[in-house]
Amino acid sequence: MRELWFFLCLFKPYKYGLSAGVLFALLTAFSSIALLMLSGWFITASALAGLTVMDVNAVMFNFMLPAAQIRALAITRTVGRYAERLVTHDVTFRSLAGIRSWFFQQVIPLAPGRLSTLRSSDLLSRMTADIDALDALYLRLLLPAVVAGVGGVAVIIFLAQYSPLISFTTACLLLLAAIGVPWIFNRLGSVGAEQSLVLATSFRIRQIDLLQGFADIVSNQAAERFSDVLHRCSDLMLNTQRCNNRLTALSAALSLLLAQISLLTALSVATLLLRDGVLSGAEMALVVFGVLAVFELVTPLPPAIQMLAKTQKAARRLLQVTEMMPTIQEPLVALTIPLRYDLQLDKVSFRYTEQQDWVLKALSLTIPHGAKVAIVGASGSGKTTLLQLLLRYYDPVEGRVLLAGEDIRQFNSDDYLSCFGVLSQRSQLFAASIKENILLAKPNATASELAAAIHAAGLSAFIQDLPEGLQTWVGENGLNVSGGEARRIALARLYLKNAPVLILDEPTEGLDSDTEHDVLKALLRFAEDKTVIMVTHRQAGLPLVDVVYELQQGILIAKAL
């Protein structure tokens, strides 16, 4: 339950809305119970009054007041139900939105180093489906439990005024229905509830894999195999859900049975009390309908408790991510970023885990401010790892990375990253406009700064020819623009940030020769007074640099241009 308690604490900012939802739910429950009991009493009393029409008491029977009270309770129940649904669902959605924001904030320090151990589709499932599953904490667990507890106690106390025996037997059977049945079916359904979440997550992962790799799947004639795997996963998930549904139906039937036993007991005892003159006919109806009404309060509990394991599993999966240790630790007291940007690697060694081989071995390199350096090497030689250490996605296992003579671990990571402009092999374009994609680098950029970046990237003519200009939608992953234009948008983002150190990871990867020439020409002009660190395996990018190093088995070797 530790996981659920943790997330319940995250609901605290919305405590007033949660409390209002509970109050409206109680108002609705009490109105429903009172309406049923009063209606039963009124109908019975009216019938008895009619049978004794010659009795003087019948003449004095007040039909108007109970009728007005019934109408008032019906209106109160309707208004209460509407307000309850409005408030509880609104506060639940707001709470889940807050949890999503919190979760995203927890994930940011894990990127990109620690998150590389998770599949993106699995992480997406945790951010969506698992957080959605937490709505059960309030709507299906906390709220019904509070209403059942408060309402049940109130009705039991009320029944005790007429018959302690009816009150006691009803209380015992009510506790069995509210606690015993849910506990039993929670034990029976916990495995299936957890499996339903795991299988649903697996199903989403396979769906995303199928959609993302659809072209390769079709070209390799593997669509049928992937479809079969998806069908098997779907069948297994449906079978698990059927088992869960059977348990839910059985728990509902058992709760109904307990309610009927309680009703039959109350009716039998009330009949004896009526015979002995302890209860009147109208009071007998009041008591019997009260017993019937109170069991309605506990009806939602067994299926909710049965699925408690699913909610716990979702909470556990979320905490598994947020409790991961980042690959870097922020300093308690951060140094101010210096005005010079000399970079140095001092006997740096690095490996991703203790079980893996060393990627970099006692590597030393000095890059003065304004220097232009290229790093070449075979795939898997550690070039990208070296860039990630410079960007402080990871910290060295041994040695230090220095900025102006200071260990970069002494700087705040956000301040440190402000010194770098990065152009990676596959710069991400988001499903947004061209303008929004460029402004990612500097959201508060002026119109003139934006125009200058667009011009420097060679995008001006392209944008002018578009009917919607800068507001043109690029589509998911830049689907609506060509590879060359996508690279230019990424360049415009780089120019807009205008950082003093440029990290270029295969900047012309996937471009044709003409576009490659234009990109490199633009980069050459832009990087004139900046530090450039480029990883490449193409000769075309080497005119940008003054010195070339080759990375071989974790060791840097200087090469002649």
What confidence tens digit (pLDDT) does each residue in 436-471 have? 989 988 888 898 999 988 888 888 888 888 888 888
Q: For residue 84, is pLDDT > 80?
A: yes
User: What length does the chain have?
Assistant: 561
pLDDT of residue 402: 92
Which of the four pLDDT bands, split at 50, 70 and 90, describes residue 50?
A: low
Mean pLDDT over 262-288 rounds to 87
Q: For residue 224, is pLDDT > 90?
A: no
pTM of the model: 0.74
| Cα–Cα dist 185/191, whole Å | 11
Mean pLDDT over 414-433 rounds to 85
Domains in the chain, start-ordered, CATH in brackets?
Answer: 2-322 (1.20.1560.10), 343-559 (3.40.50.300)
| Cα–Cα dist 46/40, whole Å | 10
Q: Name the token pair of 377.
A: 């090497």
pLDDT of residue 47: 78
Mean pLDDT over 156-161 rounds to 90
The number of angstroms, rounded, from the C-alpha of 422 to the middle of its chain's C-alpha atoms is 29
Q: Return the percentage of the chain with pLDDT > 90, whole number.
A: 11
CB 14 within 8 A of CB 94: yes
Region of residue 396 (phi > 0: left; psi between -120 and 50: alpha; otherwise: beta): beta
Q: Name the token pair of 31.
A: 């109105």
| Cα–Cα dist 501/485, whole Å | 24
| Cα–Cα dist 348/388, whole Å | 13
Q: Name the token pair of 494.
A: 């780089």
Q: How many CB atoms lie within 10 A of CB 523?
A: 25
Q: For residue 55, is pLDDT > 60?
A: no
Which of the four pLDDT bands, split at 50, 70 and 90, describes residue 510?
A: low
Task: For residue 413, give the nearest of 430, 388, 436 by alpha carbon.
Answer: 388
Task: For residue range 338-354, list pLDDT tens digits in order.
Answer: 888 899 999 989 988 88
CB 503 within 8 A of CB 420: yes
Stated as kind and residue range, the H or E segment containing 362 is strand 360-367
Task: For residue range 92-108, list pLDDT tens digits in order.
Answer: 889 888 888 888 888 88
- Look up tokens 């578009």; give the residue: 466
Query: Which amino acid does the sequence have at 475?
Result: G
- Look up tokens 């002018």; give the residue: 464
Query: Which amino acid does the sequence have at 315?
Result: A
Which of the four pLDDT bands, split at 50, 70 and 90, describes residue 165?
A: very high
Helices (H) and strands (E) in the chain, counts: 22, 10
Q: Name the token pair of 155.
A: 């009705």
pLDDT of residue 83: 93
Burial category of 231 from C-beta neighbours within 10 Å (exposed 0-12, middle 13-18, buried 19 and up) = exposed
Q: Name the token pair of 25.
A: 């739910």
Task: For residue range 468-486, list pLDDT tens digits in order.
Answer: 888 888 887 777 888 778 8
CB 365 within 8 A of CB 556: yes
The number of angstroms, rounded, from the C-alpha of 3 to the middle of its chain's C-alpha atoms is 15
CA 476, 479, 483, 487 torsion-angle sign = negative
Q: For residue 508, is pLDDT > 70?
A: yes
What is the end-to-end Cα distance of the chain in Å, rounded? 64
Q: Please tell me which of 236-250, 308-322, 394-408 the model is most confident about, judged by mean pLDDT.
A: 394-408
Task: For residue 505, give the nearest of 479, 473, 462, 537 by alpha carbon.
Answer: 537
Question: Across-strand partners of 473?
Answer: 433
